[in-house]
A = this chain, B = another copy of it.
Amino acid sequence: MKYTKATNYALHIMAYFVKQEGKDNLSLQPIASHLNISPTYLSKILTQLVKADLIQSAPGVNGGYSLRKPKTEISFYDVIQAIEGSGALFTCEMEENHGCQIEKVMKAAEEKMVSHLKEKHIYDVV
């Protein structure tokens, strides 16, 4: 179990947006060369961030991407969830486990991590 590379990229992308806040829309190419990944792959990650309402996109000439919310309101968890989804890390797969105790402990542990990630904002680290 590891976080995916896409999550790694997404966090750095969002940090980049926060740093560049106030400037014009950022378009694909500059971001791609700053992070050193291919533009098409980057666009896939950005699309996920758009769907999660963290950034917005504008097509056409002078289009590009920009933050959707105030930079102080974007938590680590928001970004991670946009990429990894919102399912629990652990779900008991044994039969007849209505209220598996193991699962309860695992979910409580995960919740500890999640609440820390909700408290921390991208803005805190730029």
| In the complex, A45 has a CB within 8 A of chain B | no
Q: Which of B2, B93, B109, B120 contacts A89 (CB 8 A)?
A: B2
Give chain A's interface secondary structure class.
Answer: helix
Q: With contacts A76-B105, A109-B116, A110-B113 known, is A90 near B1, CB below 8 A?
A: no
| In the complex, per-residue mask of A5-34: 1 if CB is within 8 Å of any chain B CB, else 0 | 101100110010000000000000000000
Q: How many copies does the complex hold?
A: 2
Q: With contacts A1-B84, A112-B113 known, is A36 near B76, CB below 8 A?
A: no
Report A's interface with B, CB cutoff 8 A. Answer: 1-5, 7-8, 11-12, 15, 35-36, 76, 84, 87, 89-90, 92-95, 101-102, 104-106, 108-110, 112-117, 120, 124-126
